[in-house]
Amino acid sequence: MKRSSIFLYGVLCYVLSLVTFVYTFAFVGDLWLANSLDSARSAPLLKASLIDLALLTLFALQHSVMARPAFKRWWTGIVPAAAERSTYLLFSCLALIAVVVFWQPIGTVVWKAESPAARTLLYAVYVFGWGLLLFSTFLLNHFELFGLRQVWLQLTGKR
């Protein structure tokens, strides 16, 4: 039961990461969402900037602290070692979700093109960049990076 629960947990964390990836893609690219990086400002500039800075700091601290070997040693005393990477992924997703949900636009458009050809080129570069990011995860061992390999090996008794 414990093995299958850890495996299910890892798969659910992975699915959450895929959903978060697609949502962030849309948020940054101002695609399909009511609120995006380029939305109109709804709070005073200083307040919006401080909130955004706090959100980015939260994301950076989570990423940095949880990646440290000392933290991992301590953390695996609380969560099973096979679930450590999935838990890191879960907290990374939650931090990124907090960024996109609570983001306070400052009313400045990051990029915009009037010409259809220029707009197409910018979107092509944008999609290429995100595609390169995803492709790079496979160069690093995508399934280990996102915790699936660890929970699979634990499920099959090879770890």
Q: Give the Cα-Cα-Cα angle 141, 86, 142 (nearest 5 degrees).
A: 15
Residues 86-97 have pLDDT tens digits of: 999 999 999 999
Residue 124 parent element (H or E): helix 116-139
Rounded to an integer, the average pLDDT of 129-143 is 92
| Angstrom distances, CA of residue 71 to CA of 57, 83, 85, 112 | 18, 14, 12, 42
The answer as to whether 107 is a domain residue is: yes
pLDDT of residue 38 exceeding 70: yes
Mean pLDDT of the chain: 89
Rounded to an integer, the average pLDDT of 106-118 is 82
**pLDDT band for position 145 (cuts 50, 70, 90):** confident
Specify the pLDDT at position 44.
87
Conformation bin of residue 133: beta by default, left when phi > 0, alpha when psi is -120 to 50: alpha
The answer as to whether 64 is a domain residue is: yes
What total of structural domains would you count in the chain?
1
| Angstrom distances, CA of residue 146 to CA of 5, 62, 142 | 17, 16, 6
pLDDT of residue 1 exceeding 70: no
Answer whether 80's CB lies under 8 Å from 147's CB. no
Specify the pLDDT at position 95.
96
CA atoms within 13 A on the CB side of 31: 10
The answer as to whether 34 is a domain residue is: yes
The answer as to whether 135 is a domain residue is: no
Q: Which residues contact 123 (CB under 8 A, 6 or more apart)?
A: 29
For 27, the domain range is 2-112+142-155
Alpha helices, DSSP H, located in 68-115: 69-75, 84-102
The answer as to whether 119 is a domain residue is: no
DSSP state of 78: T
Specify the pLDDT at position 143.
86
The answer as to whether 131 is a domain residue is: no
The answer as to whether 121 is a domain residue is: no
Percent with pLDDT over 90 in the chain: 50
Specify the pLDDT at position 42.
79
Q: How much is the pTM?
A: 0.85
The answer as to whether 102 is a domain residue is: yes
